[in-house]
Every structure is written in C-alpha cells, then in structure tokens.
Amino acid sequence: MLSTDDLREFLDEKASLYNNPRFIESDPVQIPHIFSLKEDIEIAGFLTATISWGKRVSIIKSAHRLMGLLGSAPYDFVMSHNEVQLERLEDFVYRTFNSTDLRFFIRALRFIYQEYGGLEGVFNKWQSTDSLQPAIHELKQLFFSTPHPDRTRKHLSDPGTGSAAKRINMYLRWMVRSDNRGVDFGIWKQIPSSSLSCPLDVHTGNVARKLGLIARKQNDAKAVLQLDKQLRILDPEDPVKYDFALFGLGVFEKF
C-alpha cells in the first residue's frame, strides 16, 4: 500500500495528465462547452449529465441530438417554450430516459429558474459547510414538487436515499471547479471546490478500492463519504481533481 505522500504524488501526476482539453474530445462535458451563455452551459450540462450512463459515444450522440431539439438554445427553450414546442420532443429517447421524462425536466427547470434563481440558486441556498449532498437532496424535492410522472423520479438521484448520485456530482464538478485547465467551467462562484464529492461509478470505484481509498464494496452514498474523506486528506481545497486521475486510470489505463 502506498504511503499518503506517495499516493498524493501518483494521483497528482495522473490528474494533471488527464485534466486538459484533450479530455473533452471523448467526454460528455463537450456538450456544455458548445455554449458561452452561463445559463445555456448550466442547462446543457444538467441535461447531458442526466443521460450520462452507458457508452460515452452514445451519450454524446444523444446529447447533441437533444441540444438540436432545443434549438441549440437550451435556456431560451426552457424559459419560453409552449406545449406545441414540447411536442417536438416526442421522439427523443436515450435508454430509459424518454420524451415523457424530457418534457417534465424542461417544465421543472423553468420552475427552478423562475422560483429559485436557477440551479445555482438551489445549491447556493442549501450547501452545507463541507458537502453538497444535502443540497442534491433538496434539489430533488424541489424538482418534483410540481405534478410529475412517477416514472421520471428515478432520473434524478438522491444521496438521502443512499445513491452515489454519480451524474449530479459530475455535473457539480463541471459547474464549480475552476482551475484554468479548460475542462471544468467554474461558473458557480459561491460554492467552494472543497465541498464537492467525487463522481463514483464502476471505474472510479474499482480504482479507488485498489488504491485503498474505499473499503465499502457498493458504489453508494456511504462509499462516496469514504472517498470524500480520503481525497480531502490528499487535497483539502480541491479533492475532486482526483476524479480525473481515478477515471483516467480506470478507463484509459485499465488500472
């Protein structure tokens, strides 16, 4: 087992290797990078993260199609859509996320922006001193506080029910981290990077276990807390930069 210093040096090197614009080419983060308006970036990122499971090539293809259905202006579509325009989304489907889910997500996003100042406003209000996991729980409560299809609830994870909430934690990394490396946006200025949690999936989880960062076998909310604790020892200010290292080791190096 590596010492803390050796592990930090190893993961710092890997994080630096993968945290660069070349990473964008094969990653869903490329979708919000299409846009320059803050709200477009937020909404494109949120919808892309929502469908980010499965093969990345398929995720990216479907997310590009989704942006086209929104007229390549996601914020304007969310805020000014009518029911006729929503019907144009009828044919969209990505795995279990279909047009019924998408239409509700568009309505719910308008509600969030009208009532709470947008997604950033929700996370600013409910962030705790060292975690955004309670705020993810609050977002889900607000998101589904209006009439909604029961089937759609599963598409927004909740750490409060034990989920690792990988996709929303990935989205938060995109929005909050600011390091001028060109991948993450850092457009949410009132949330510190120190409160982010690592997106935990099969790749990052397997690598983290091999490196002794997680003891828990399941990729769930408790495992996220274990990983948070260890990564914050390595870098208290920017623990989630190590997502690049863990993901890169798992996906590109088959570690």
> According to the model, what pLDDT value does residue 108 have?
98
Beta carbons within 10 angstroms of residue 243's beta carbon: 25
Q: CA of 49: how far to CAs of 46, 54, 212, 215, 231, in Å?
A: 5, 12, 28, 27, 23
pLDDT along the chain (255 residues), means of 10: 93 97 95 98 98 96 98 98 95 97 98 97 95 97 96 97 97 96 97 97 96 97 97 98 97 91
> According to the model, what pLDDT value does residue 2 have?
87
Whether the Cβ atoms of residue 92 and residue 127 lie closer than 8 Å to each other: no
> According to the model, what pLDDT value does residue 1 have?
78
Q: Which amino acid is at 137?
A: H
> According to the model, what pLDDT value does residue 129 have?
87
Query: Rg for the chain (alpha carbons), in Å?
Result: 18
> According to the model, what pLDDT value does residue 23 have?
93
31 vs 147: CA distance, rounded Å: 29
> According to the model, what pLDDT value does residue 19 have?
97
97 vs 57: CA distance, rounded Å: 17
